[in-house]
């Protein structure tokens, strides 16, 4: 979050204004209602998902659309959120940080899976999201973020 907000000062300011508009302390209830805060978190998790892959086992033969390919029951399948989240079929300008894409917009099921999906979705997801809301709110409220000159993230070795 710090990385993306440091690159996008305008979005950092929008978030700061939303948080400054809260009349009370940062509580579960009011942070959960902060639309832009939640969109910033969702967009960050889309661009830098915490899971590199999700594994599942196909429980019955599955015909893959009109491809002529059938996945046999018992086949292990690996889903990579990083790849799905950057597919232009699901997200316009997929490599750009645009929290607004998560405000009042519905995405196809399983196009956004930072914590996995279905009944085996990460059991700590809600806890993690609440921790992120509180940590981001407290730091954005007090500090302004900037990147060191020429700083770049290598997603495959740095995260």
Does the pLDDT value for residue 69 go beyond 50? yes
Other CB atoms within a 10 A radius of the CB of residue 7 amount to 14
pLDDT: is 116 or 158 the higher one?
116
- What is the pTM for the complete model shown? 0.87
Does the pLDDT value for residue 157 go beyond 60? no
Contact 88, 107 (CB under 8 A): no
d(CA 107, CA 87): 12
122 is in an annotated binding site: yes
Least confident of 1-5, 79-83, 116-120: 116-120
d(CA 100, CA 149): 27
29-49 pLDDT, tens digit each: 899 899 999 999 999 999 999
Residue 60 DSSP class: S
d(CA 19, CA 11): 12
Does the pLDDT value for residue 144 go beyond 90? yes
What pLDDT is recorded for position 137?
A: 95
């Amino acid at each position: 979050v710090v990385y993306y907000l440091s690159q996008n000062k305008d979005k950092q300011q929008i978030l700061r204004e939303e948080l400054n508009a809260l009349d009370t302390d940062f509580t579960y209830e009011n942070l959960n209602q902060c639309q832009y805060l939640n969109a910033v978190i969702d967009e960050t998790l889309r661009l830098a998902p915490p899971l590199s892959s999700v594994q599942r086992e196909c429980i019955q033969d599955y015909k893959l659309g009109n491809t002529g390919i059938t996945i046999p029951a018992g086949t292990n399948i690996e889903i990579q959120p990083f790849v799905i989240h950057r597919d232009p079929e699901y997200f316009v300008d997929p490599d750009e940080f645009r929290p607004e894409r998560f405000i009042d917009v519905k995405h196809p099921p399983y196009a956004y899976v930072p914590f996995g999906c279905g009944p085996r979705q990460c059991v700590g997801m809600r806890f993690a999201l609440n921790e992120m809301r509180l940590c981001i709110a407290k730091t954005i409220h007090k500090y302004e973020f900037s990147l060191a000159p020429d700083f770049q993230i290598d997603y495959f070795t740095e995260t």
